[in-house]
Amino acid sequence: MGRGTFETDQALGRLRLLLVCGCAGAIFASVAVLSWLVRRGLKPLGYAAAEIAAIGETSLSSRLNPGDAPGELAPIITRLNDLLARLESAFAREKAITADVAHELRTPLAGLRSTLEVSISKERAAIRYQEAMAKSLAICRQMQQMVENLLELARADAGQLEVASEAADLVALLKDCWMPFAHRAAERRLEVAWELPESCPVTTDRTKVRLILNNIFDNAVTYADAGGQVTIALHPDNGRVNVSISNTGSRVAEVDVGRVFDRFWRGDAARTAKGNGRRYGLGLPLCQKLVTLLGGSINALTTSGGTFAVFVALPAP
């Protein structure tokens, strides 16, 4: 028997329309729900971006709040907070160095100005002018040394220093570097003790080793007590060349000895009459940078008897 399919076609058409509308509605609803979920999920990221945008050079102490962030963002926020802490420390260090350099230059400049003003205030004998010129020259040398150290430190921080290795005799280099300080040591009645072999060949950067030794010698002669002793020793050992330079009259506490390698560290505040303490400048921090660049190591030691020593270990050839 034959039967018409009109009603069946109509039912199928309605079913097709219902399926199309239902699928379209489901897709639209899914897109709307997913969009809302994505926006809600990314909202903590937007808050974090706004917090980051609000942080400037004057608000580096601010930290991102990881409380509302999803677990996936927590490590990123933690690393960003660590980065902010390092930036804050770097900015604070740069500001402190700027203030310390200004302070260190102000004192010798004031001394230089007063010496010159007194010299030209009235007619004086020729010997007085020579004394004033000698004093002014010493102040200029002091400022030049500090500026050169600061420049070398800036180059080292920027990674612009290169090592030019050459053969050298470290014993001869020690004696040669000591010569400019011998007169000052004699004026302060310092006894100089040498503990050196006949020779000690090394392969290193002669210029940088000179700068290291000059700064350590200057530190020893400056801070030794009048009539005290400076000891200069060299001992090869296990593929290293160990140089030690010590002086008596140290006031650095044993717990603070590691801080002598901090730039412009002020120590000994509790033991001075005015409470100002001794200020250690750029010499030893520069030595630490240069020794590390040469592949060596540097350490300091102070004893209860008042002896301060710097130990430098350099690679032997």
The model's pTM: 0.62
Residues 205 and 104 in one domain: no
Question: Does 203 fall in a domain?
Answer: yes
Residues 145 and 224 in one domain: no
Report CA torsion sign: 181, 186, 190, 192: positive
- Least Cα distance to 246 among 233, 230, 270 occurs for 230
How much is the pLDDT for 4? 63
Distance CA 139, CA 149 (A): 16
Question: Does 99 fall in a domain?
Answer: yes
Question: Does 32 fall in a domain?
Answer: no
115: which 2 tokens?
A: 């010496």
Taking CA atoms, 197 is separated from 61, 171, 247, in Å, by: 54, 7, 20
Which CATH number covers residue 310? Answer: 3.30.565.10
3-class DSSP assignment, residue 160? coil
Residues 149 and 170 in one domain: no
Residues 182 and 274 in one domain: yes
How much is the pLDDT for 75? 79
Q: How many domains does the chain contain in total?
A: 2
Residues 111 and 133 in one domain: yes
294: which 2 tokens?
A: 């040469």
How much is the pLDDT for 271? 39
Question: Does 111 fall in a domain?
Answer: yes
Q: Kindly list the averaged pLDDT for each block of 10 residues, start to end, along the chain of length 317.
A: 68 80 86 80 71 73 71 77 82 70 75 86 85 86 76 73 83 90 90 89 86 88 89 86 89 77 62 44 80 88 86 84
Domain residues for 90?
74-157
Question: Does 22 fall in a domain?
Answer: no
Residues 86 and 118 in one domain: yes
Residues 126 and 207 in one domain: no
- Least Cα distance to 232 among 296, 306, 166, 182 occurs for 182
Question: Does 309 fall in a domain?
Answer: yes
Residues 186 and 122 in one domain: no
Which CATH number covers residue 148? Answer: 1.10.287
How much is the pLDDT for 103? 65
178: which 2 tokens?
A: 């000591």
3-class DSSP assignment, residue 168? strand
Question: Does 310 fall in a domain?
Answer: yes
